[in-house]
Amino acid sequence: MSWFESFVLGLVQGLTEFLPVSSSAHLRLTAAFADWPDPGAAFTAVTQIGTEAAVLIYFRKDIARIVTAWFRSLYDRRARHDADARTGWLVIVGSVPIGVLGLLLKDAIEGPFRDLRLIATTLVVMGVVLGYADRRAAGDERGGRHRAAKRRKELRDLTVRDGLVFGLCQAMALVPGVSRSGATISGGLFIGYTRESAARYSFLLAVPAVLASGVFELKDAGDASGGHTAWGPTLFATVIAFVVGYAVIAWFMRFISSRSFMPFVVYRILLGLLLFALVAAGVLSPHAGEDVS
C-alpha cells in the first residue's frame, strides 16, 4: 500500500465511519474503483481505532461520567439505579453480540462478505430500512390531525431489552454495506428513541467493540496490507481517520438535531443500484481488487 492510497483510504474511513452509509463498504468500493488491492478487514479494523479515538475525545464528558457511575455501581447498590451507571452496564451487554459473532464469522467477514454484490444489496436494503424508521420517528414527533405528538425515548430510558436490541443491530454491521451507525440508529428509531439519542448511543456502543476488533487485528494488518513496510501507511491512515472523523461527528450531531436521515437513505440506494449496474455490465468484478498484487 502506498502513502497516497493510505491517505485516501484514511480520508474515506473518517468521512464515512459515523454516517449511516457504511465505512467498510466505502473502503472496499474505493479500492475497487481505483483498481487498488482490497485493503482488507484487518486494515479497516485498525483504521477504525482512529475514528473511535475521535469518539472518546468528542464524548469525553459523557464517557467520563458513565465510567465513573459504572465503577461506583460495582460497590454501591444505590448507584446501580443511576442512568449513567445503567448505560455503562448496557454498553457492555450490547457489545456481547458483535464480539461473539465477530469471532464466529471471522473467515466470512474477511472473504465472502466482501463480495460487491452483497455490499450493493445491503446498501439498498438497509437504506430502505433506515428510511422507514426515520419516517416513523418523524411521524411520532410531528403528530397528526387526530393524534398528538408522541414522546420518544432518551438515553436515560435505556432498558436491558433496548440494550440488547441495539447490540444485535450493531452486530449486523459485520457485513460490509450495513453500516454500524445505520443499523443501530435504525434499531433505536424502531424502538422509540429520538434521532440524537439513537446516534449518541450508537457511537458509545461502538467504542469497546471497535477498539477490541482493532487490537485483535493489529497482528494481521501488516500482512493484509503488504508486509511490515505497510505499518507506516496503516498508521498514517489511522491518524487521518481520527482528524476527519472528529470533524464529521461534530457536524453529524448538529445535522440530526434538526434534519432527517433521508439524504443518506437516497445516497445509499443510488450507490447500491449503481454498483449493481456496474457489476451486471461487467465494468466491475464482484471480487474486484482481491487478486490485484
List pLDDT tens digits, range 110-163: 677 778 899 999 999 999 999 999 998 888 776 656 566 678 898 888 888 999
How far, in Å, are 216, 263, 277 from residue 26 at the CA level? Answer: 22, 17, 17
What's residue 224's pLDDT? Answer: 45
Report how far residue 267's alpha carbon sits from residue 9's, in angstroms, rounded to the nearest whole number.
20
Kindly report the pTM of this predicted structure.
Answer: 0.84
Per the structure block, which three cell numbers stand in for 26?
466505502
Residue whose grid cell is 511490515 = 228
List pLDDT tens digits, range 205-242: 988 887 877 777 666 555 544 444 467 888 899 999 99
Report how far residue 156's alpha carbon sits from residue 236's, in angstroms, rounded to the nearest whole number.
38
| Ranges 50-54, 95-99, 273-277, 287-291: which has the least confidence | 287-291
Per the structure block, which three cell numbers stand in for 292?
490485484
Look at residues 42, 48, 43, 39 and name the one whose alpha carbon lies nearest to residue 13. 48
